[in-house]
Structure 1
Amino acid sequence: MSKEPATGSLIDGFSRRIDYLRVSVTDRCDLRCSYCLPKDFKGFETPANWLRHEEMLRLVGLFVRLGVSKVRLTGGEPLLRRGVIGLAAQIAAMPGLRDLSVSTNGTQLARHARELRAAGVTRLNISLDTLDAAAFSRITGRDCLESVLAGLAAAREAGFAPIKLNSVVHAATPEGEVRRLLDYAMVQGFVLRLIEPMPMGECGRGFAHTDLNVLGARLASQAGLIPALAASGSGPARYWSGGHGAPVLGVITPMSQHFCATCNRVRLGVDGTLYLCLGQEDRVPLGQWLRDGASDAELTQAILAGIAAKPERHEFVTRPERIIRFMAQTGG
């Protein structure tokens, strides 16, 4: 992957440098996690409105030329999108891009792990909320825990490291289940990240959060972990490490201790909508303007104007009813 410097930089109105773009390649998913999508949800984007790969590459390329150095492919479930491996390879080859990662639920990963690695994907985040098969089925709506575990094994064999496990933990999550996940991650050499649920859509508001700073510290103490001196990457997680110094356990706490002051990211929806904040409705219809014939210069100016208007912070705590769209509609 190229290390050439970008030709610009994106600085918002609060002096935050935006160098991370999350790109939703589909809003479809083969799971129905209870905090993410209602089981009967049918309001997916019409495929005709999805950005074609060449349109996605054009917009991502503009962001990279403006200083974005990290891109993550998300969904929905990104590995359901036909041609996503080729798309990843083309993004990985963009001059100035330093990191290409993928967020996945793991159900398709056993088939695609080696291809993703060969395409230039450097990191994987894999959703895993429990190791109990019955609980997994209740949370996701499918009995496919073994497929996810097989995907994790394939990812490790393909050479991905570190592999991060993302686990949504709410007030009703049994602590024993979280400890079981931590034990599993430590044995397998994965990094477990506990995430507070956010009130996005009706299903997101159905789960009360618990302060994961407290839970994380307790689990870390029980496992003999110590606070990490530095975070792994530039994301929002706070970590504990083992004797080797590498992160083992992390917490992401948008509700109990937000990290908006250091936010460095924006999201591109599958239809090309630029979402400036998960917890606000500010957006820029880049995909619509692209299809209406906007030039690269015009799209670049729209991106710059959008970044300048990026909100200071979310309002998940003070106005939890504000966001009616579901996480899968925004890009995870």
Structure 2
Amino acid sequence: MLTDNHGRVINYMRLAVTDRCNLRCFYCMPEDGLNWLSRTELMSNDEMLRICGLLVHMGIERIRITGGEPFVRKDIMQLLTGLSKLNGLKELTMTTNGVLTAPHVAEMKALGVSSVNLSLDTLDANRFFTITRRDEFANVMNTLDELLKHNIEIKINAVVMDGKNTQDIIPMVELTKDLPVSVRFIEEMPFNGDGHVYNGLQWDHVRILNEIEAHYPTITKLVDPLYSTSYNYHVPGHKGTVGIIAAYSRTFCGSCNRIRVTPQGTLKNCLYDDGVLNIKDLMRSGASDGKIEQELLKAFSNRPVDGWEAERLRVEKTGVHESMATIGG
């Protein structure tokens, strides 16, 4: 069992395979995109498989593939194939915006991808275009249909943004009436990628729940799974469930079981830190598996107690405003 300096189990890894994305969601990046990493700055498939294999050997049981948008990476299915063969890996999941995903769903199912987080902030095509700056709503809904058809567990992630999509909260909850999906509302975070100052949270997890309860007064609290980042609820008679993730309030940090690895191979003990170890550089310098394991254990023995401490300890003190695309969603 892999543990940190606070006695917390570490068994979950989020691996970002690219910083590139085919949407331009305003809360994630500027309209003209970012200064994308070059191919040599990204980890290769072999490098990602090596570090994943090493971490699984050390105790990681779950790997989630994120981006950017994973399916922008042309060799993503080869990577999934390699990961599916790792001895000791118990769960392989993905996060995607759904634009390019639908044609791959059948193969994902065959490889054992057990769950997909589908980013979808609105059910209105016009608002989708306003938020993402791209006309891809139909492709995303097609991916949702394919995932349902292949019986892959679906979590729909919606970032709640004041003045942008709060009118979608109730229609999104209504999705759970007839569909076996988990709709999860996420507090907006400051990772906008353009350096502008985050003006604070208007819709926190309490306000989101109050909005839902006003329309569904019989909604009931579920028992949250171990290590859950969401507070989970169920509307009587609905097939699916509702979750609320306090991503900015950071109320779930005490049970954090996850680490992140960015597309350029940087280990992040917390979403809010600025990176604690460059694994890619270690591999490319010829470090043995034993040396890399030693450095990883050293990093895990210095994890912050929560996201607030991680933010305070950042080397870069000008605030948190890199893009989620560069650190892994």
Normalised to the residue count of structure 1, the TM-score between the two structures is: 0.90
Cα distance per residue 1:192-214 (max 9 Å; x no partner): 00001111243682673412233
Change (3 A) 1:147 1:246: closer
Correspondence 1:126 to 2:125: no
| Corresponding residue of 2:97 | 105
Unaligned ranges ≥5, structure 2: none
Contact map agreement 2:121 2:160 (CA 8 A) in 1: yes
CA distance in 2, matches of 1:245, 1:16: 34
Q: One-letter code of the match for 1:254?
A: A
Normalised to the residue count of structure 2, the TM-score between the two structures is: 0.91
Correspondence 1:225 to 2:222: no
Unaligned ranges ≥5, structure 1: 1-8
Cα distance, 1:172 vs structure 2: 2.5
Change (3 A) 1:95 1:318: closer
Instruction: Provide the alpha-carbon RMSD of the alignment.
Output: 2.2
CA distance in 2, matches of 1:207, 1:217: 19
Cα distance per residue 1:221-241 (max 9 Å; x no partner): 63332100233x633001002
Sequence identity of aligned pairs in percent? 31
Cα distance, 1:132 vs structure 2: 1.0
- Which region of structure 1 is more displaced relative to structure 2, 318-327 or 143-152? 318-327
| Corresponding residue of 1:172 | 163
Change (3 A) 1:199 1:281: same
CA distance in 2, matches of 1:297, 1:258: 35
| Corresponding residue of 1:188 | 179
Residue 198 of structure 1 is aligned with which of 189, 206, 217?
189
| Corresponding residue of 1:265 | 258
CA distance in 2, matches of 1:278, 1:204: 18
Correspondence 1:239 to 2:236: no
| Corresponding residue of 2:271 | 278
- Which region of structure 1 is more displaced relative to structure 2, 176-185 or 74-83? 176-185
| Corresponding residue of 1:74 | 66
| Corresponding residue of 2:292 | 299
| Corresponding residue of 2:305 | 312
CA distance in 2, matches of 1:206, 1:29: 25
Residue 93 of structure 1 is aligned with which of 77, 85, 88?
85
- Which region of structure 1 is more displaced relative to structure 2, 91-100 or 144-153? 91-100
Residue 39 of structure 1 is aligned with which of 25, 31, 37?
31
Contact map agreement 2:177 2:237 (CA 8 A) in 1: no
Change (3 A) 1:129 1:251: same
Contact map agreement 1:29 1:80 (CA 8 A) in 2: yes
Cα distance, 1:99 vs structure 2: 0.8
Q: One-letter code of the match for 1:330?
A: I
CA distance in 2, matches of 1:204, 1:291: 36
Aligned length: 322
Q: One-letter code of the match for 1:172?
A: G
Correspondence 1:29 to 2:21: yes
Cα distance, 1:278 vs structure 2: 1.1
CA distance in 1, matches of 2:196, 2:176: 28
Cα distance per residue 1:75-96 (max 9 Å; x no partner): 0000111221221122122121
Cα distance, 1:18 vs structure 2: 0.8
Q: Aligned with 1:315: secondary structure?
A: helix
Cα distance per residue 1:27-75 (max 9 Å; x no partner): 1000011111111233111111211111100000111011110100000
CA distance in 1, matches of 2:108, 2:282: 31
Cα distance, 1:188 vs structure 2: 2.3
Cα distance per residue 1:302-323 (max 9 Å; x no partner): 1111111111122399869522
Change (3 A) 1:298 1:257: closer
Change (3 A) 1:146 1:97: same
